[in-house]
Amino acid sequence: MNDINVIKKDVMHVGEMASGAALTVPVYRIQGQGHGPSVYIQANMHGAEVQGNAVIFQLLEQLKHIRLNGDITLVPYANPVGCNHKNGEYTLGRFDPITGVNWNRMYHYDDTNIAAFAKAHQTASVADIERAFKSEMIGQIEQKLNHNIYGLTTGQRIAYQLQRLAHQADIVLDLHTGPISSKHLYCPEYARASAHYFDIEHVLFIPNGFDGALDEATFCPWWQLQLAFAALGRDFPITRADTSQGKDLIIKESFTVELGSQEQIDLALALEDARGILSYLQYQGVMASDEFQPKTMRRYSCMLKDYKALYSPMGGMVDYLAEFGKPLPAGQPLARILRMDNYGDGEPLHAISLDHSVIPILHFASASVNQGTELYKVFSKYSILT
């Protein structure tokens, strides 16, 4: 197949190491030919969560040949510190080793001016609102990056530069993985219609609350603006599903896409993952194509408040038993914990179960756990996505 798109590469400087070595991130851009939504996709903000880089490779391989209506920006290796943070044979890279802060909790969000912004733009056109609001958000980031005499932490400097790119797009996808995990999607509640277009069986609906992550940092402002307009009696749709024919269409959606387990890439699976993402992008009108259709599958959803961590009731060695992604009946064991110190004069095996049905989504990456280690994360209440 002939390439019809040119892929442009830039190298973004995001910081410096003690030796003076530059911390850089590659940024790939493909320009669309029409007026479709623009897209920002990044991967590997957490060091061990590497599958997203392979997905970006497969996306670029596909996107070369597809006519695009909107611009697409792709950033693999989004966090060069996390990516290179090895200890023995393992990659760490979930927390800044100096401050202990989660790398995906350092983005910026400030909602103090949103109500006033809505009031000032109550009768403005959708296009004018979009332009002004976007420039307001990017301005805040520029201010933080360039006019901050007390400086920024290493993680903030990386996060803000990524966020500046993300704010320029209509659709933001942050590619992560769990530790040992099934695929799942973090989806803002207002964008639930879009969850049908990813090939992901497990969907978490997240409320309008900011906890520092990139998806929230990019959808919360638009959601808050929508609510501020609603309080003034103005309808301000931000998803395709909410927009009736003939109205101005803007799409503002962000997702965290959890692609499976950490510490591994699988290029064949990455192609599947890429096709699922392209199915969603096609639905949003990013591409002039009908090649990518979502798979028929049973999708389960869970509200974020019902996504529960199960902490180990005891220390020991864990035999993880539960199959991911399938409802596990009440009383069935999730895991067995081996305690060889009790062999002969006590109970060496302990079954871990719950008194209600759950869907196990991910578990801890190691068999040895302390009392209180996060053993599993499960959908504690779930429904079939319709």
Residue closer to Zn ion, measured from CB, 49 or 253: 49
User: Least distance in Å: CB of 179 to Zn ion?
Assistant: 9
Residue closer to Zn ion, measured from CB, 44 or 58: 44
User: Least distance in Å: CB of 28 to Zn ion?
Assistant: 21
Q: Which residue has the tokens 């392209």?
A: 278
- Strand 359-363 versus strand 180-181 pairing type: antiparallel
Q: Which residue has the tokens 């638009």?
A: 222
What stretch of H or E contains 138?
helix 126-146
User: Least distance in Å: CB of 104 to Zn ion?
Assistant: 6
Return the amino acid letter for 184: H
Is 360 within 8 Å of 323 (Cβ atoms)?
Answer: yes
Residue closer to Zn ion, measured from CB, 46 or 299: 46
User: Least distance in Å: CB of 101 to Zn ion?
Assistant: 14
3-state helix, strand, coil in the chain (%, to 5): 30, 30, 45
Positive or negative CA dihedral for 278, 324, 358, 317?
A: negative
Residue closer to Zn ion, measured from CB, 75 or 251: 75
User: Least distance in Å: CB of 249 to Zn ion?
Assistant: 31
User: Least distance in Å: CB of 175 to Zn ion?
Assistant: 9
- Strand 171-178 versus strand 184-188 pairing type: unpaired
Is 67 within 8 Å of 288 (Cβ atoms)?
Answer: yes
Residue closer to Zn ion, measured from CB, 70 or 178: 178
Residue closer to Zn ion, measured from CB, 49 or 130: 49
Residue closer to Zn ion, measured from CB, 94 or 108: 94
User: Least distance in Å: CB of 262 to Zn ion?
Assistant: 8
- The CB-nearest residue to Zn ion is 176
Residue closer to Zn ion, measured from CB, 107 or 133: 107
Return the amino acid letter for 120: A
User: Least distance in Å: CB of 160 to Zn ion?
Assistant: 18
User: Least distance in Å: CB of 258 to Zn ion?
Assistant: 7
Q: 24 forms bridges with which residues in the sheet? A: 13
Return the amino acid letter for 279: S
Give the residues lining the site for Zn ion (CB under 5 A): 46, 49, 176
Return the amino acid letter for 6: V
CA distance 220 to 213: 10
Distances (CA, A) of 233 to 17, 41, 88, 129, 237: 51, 34, 58, 16, 13
Residue closer to Zn ion, measured from CB, 176 or 275: 176
Q: Which residues contact 152 (CB under 8 A, 6 or more apart)?
A: 144, 145, 160
Q: Which residues contact 21 (CB under 8 A, 6 or more apart)?
A: none
Residue closer to Zn ion, measured from CB, 178 or 276: 178
Cα 174 to its chain centre, rounded Å, is: 4
What secondary structure does DSSP assign to 211-254, as a single string?
-S-HHHHHHHHHHHHHHHHHHTT-----STTTPPTTS-----EE
User: Least distance in Å: CB of 92 to Zn ion?
Assistant: 12
